[in-house]
Amino acid sequence: MSNRLDQEREARLQPQRMKSCQETLEKEWGLTIVGGDGHSRLDVQGRGLKFSLWPYSGWWSGKRIGSGRGFKKLEKELKETIGKKKKKKQ
C-alpha cells in the first residue's frame, strides 16, 4: 500500500481497478498481462508494445507509448499507436 492519506479507500478500490483495467486491456485491446507486483502494477505486452500500468493512480510508462496518467488517455494513446481495438468475435 502507498502512503496516500486515504488508505482505506485505496485498499477498497485497488482490486476493482486492477480487475477492470486487466479485463479491458485483454478483451478489448488484445494485450496480455505478463506480470506485475500482484497488488498495484500490471506489466502488459502485445501488439508490439510493452508497458507498465499502475491502475489505482492511473500512471503508465512504456517505450512506444511514453508515460502519462489516466486510463482513458492510455486508451487514446493505444489507439494512436497500434490502431483500433481488437475486433470482437461475432
DSSP H stretches of helix in the chain = 7-23, 71-82
Is the pLDDT at 27 greater than 90, yes or no?
A: yes
Q: What is the DSSP letter of 55?
A: T
Query: Average pLDDT of the chain?
Result: 89
Q: What is the pLDDT of residue 41?
A: 95
Q: What is the pLDDT of residue 26?
A: 95
Domain ranges of the chain: 7-82
Question: Is the overall model pTM greater than 0.85, yes or no?
Answer: no
Are the C-beta atoms of 59 and 69 separated by less than 8 Å?
yes
Is the pLDDT at 90 greater than 90, yes or no?
A: no
Give the cell for residue 72. Answer: 482513458
Q: List all residues 6 or more positions away from 22 whose beta carbon is below 8 Å from its beta carbon.
A: 33, 42
